[in-house]
Amino acid sequence: MLTGLVRLSACSTINICMNKLSASIIAVSLVTGVFFINLIAGELDFRVDTTRDSLYSLSNQSRDILNQLDDEVNIVHFYIQNDPRYTPTLELLREYRRSSPHINVQLYDINSSPSAADRYNVRFHGTTVIEKGGRRVEVYGSDEVSVSNGIYQLLHDSEKKIYFTGGHGEYDIFSRVSEDHLELEGEEDRPIFIHQKQGMLKLKETLELMSFEVDQLFLQREGRVPADADLLVIASPMEPFLPLEIEAIREYMDNGGNLLITLRPFIDGGLSGILEEFGVIPQNNMVIDFGNHFWNDAMAPAVGSYEEHVITQDLALTFFPGIQELRIAETLPDGIRPLVLFSSTGQSVTVNSAEEIEQLRSARISPDSFGMMAVVEASRNGTENRVAAIGSGSFASNEYLNHLGNQRLITNTINWLLDEEVMLDLEPVNYELPVINLTNRQLRNTFLLSSVLIPGLFTIVGIAVWYRRRRE
């Protein structure tokens, strides 16, 4: 018996020792494995973006541009070492290098590498030089859109020019901008830029990021549209154009020009004659949409349904603070092909003056749907024209450009007018505080769901439970 107990005790001791040895081997193996995995990972340029909106990954549009590369592109960026503001930019450029074998990235501290700055003729930190095949583009933005559009510009030789008219109370593309600082706890102060609301400087900057050249044109001084104009934009004039200016616009269109006109309520700026030649008739009124509008403002119709067109492809909700009605002429000249891209809902009315707005409550008006944007493709006298007319220009102003789908609508429209559909998805990304913008219908449904239905459901369940327990 004693011998058996001794043998059993020895076996138990051996098993315990073996278990400890196995555990030690497993622990050492795990530590060794983790060490070598980290060692290998440190040599690999690989990462996974787990953010909800893929904030640290290139967009599909940028990847599409990189996929078009068949030759080496050299990206040279000048920054200030140890300046935390440049950390996102440096990581972004490394992501370009990871995403394409044709991308070569060089990073220089402008203070410690003056010879490199002289070689590339760079004087300011934050400058990015992009080179391909002897061609060069300088980019001053530090975001993905600036870099991607710089690469896109090198891929396409043509650089198109857009003129915005001035002198008639149009939205100013050189509107004021002031600098402030956003102070956040635990972060460095970040510079922010505040644009004058009634202007179009944001749109000008957007178009320049998209590789378009933008300038202002005073027709009353020049007397003609410059020969290098690929697109003429008339942004909601308040004063009428002179007959001499109208003739200059007609001459430009007769030579194959393209035209974008945005209007204001009750005003056509003397442009109705030109628009009617292309089958579009402004009504000089104002559309008030009680069916779908921005927040609680019926004078800012919201649009979520569009005619099928390259401009409206994947277009989100848009809205138009103050817009007039546009109609298509019943009889169209040969070669004129107009299309109304979107209209107000069937619960809309129009007023012909600001005074009529106050009388709407007592007026008996039959609601209807009214066209608000039209595009025209024209073939006249051996020339081709593209024309777009929108009953409002305020949606593309500094105040509203970055709301909902407004920016995409105006950039898509300009790209279509310039026959640059390939760039329709290439628009700047705006990083702003998250804001939920709702139409009146969405506000009503949200109120009913959150303040009536859900509390009502819990109330009914509570009463049912109380009644059942009382019976028991």
pLDDT, tens digit, for every residue of 280-333? Answer: 999 999 999 999 988 888 899 999 999 999 999 888 899 999 999 999 999 998
Band the pLDDT of 19: cuts 50, 70, 90: low
Fold of the CATH domain 161-423: Rossmann fold (3.40.50)
- Across 58-67, 84-93, 186-195, 359-368, least confident range: 186-195
- 449-467 burial: b if 16+ Cβ within 10 Å, else e: eeeeeeeeeeeeeeeeeee
User: How many residues are given for the chain?
Assistant: 472
Domain boundaries, the chain: 60-155, 161-423, 438-472
The pLDDT of residue 435 is 58
Would you give the distance in Å from CA 19 to the centre of its chain?
Answer: 63
d(CA 128, CA 304): 39
Band the pLDDT of 356: cuts 50, 70, 90: confident
* Burial bucket for residue 292 (CB in 10 Å: 0-12, 13-18, 19+): buried
Q: Read off the pLDDT of each residue in 201-229 and give the average, rounded to a whole number.
A: 89
Q: Is 295 left (phi over 0), alpha (psi -120 to 50) or beta?
A: left
d(CA 34, CA 22): 18
DSSP per-residue string spanning 416-457: HHTT-GGGTT-------------BHHHHHHHHIIIIIIHHHH
- DSSP lists the bridge partners of residue 339 as 375
164 or 196, greater pLDDT: 164
Correct CATH for 60-155 of 1.20.1250.20, 3.30.70.2390, 3.10.110.10, 3.40.30.10: 3.40.30.10
Alpha-helical runs (H) found in 48-132:
60-67, 87-99, 114-119
Assess whether pLDDT exceeds 80 at residue 112: yes
Question: What is the residue-averaged pLDDT of the chain?
Answer: 83
Q: Read off the pLDDT of each residue in 208-224 and give the average, rounded to a whole number.
A: 89
Range among 89-93, 110-114, 146-150, 164-168 rated most confident: 164-168
Range among 35-39, 177-181, 400-404 rated most confident: 400-404
d(CA 239, CA 237): 6
Q: Which of 265, 287, 307, 319 lies closest to 440 in space, CA to CA?
A: 319
Residue 133, token pair as written in the block: 């095949």
The pLDDT of residue 363 is 67
Whether the model pTM is above 0.85: no
* Burial bucket for residue 145 (CB in 10 Å: 0-12, 13-18, 19+): buried
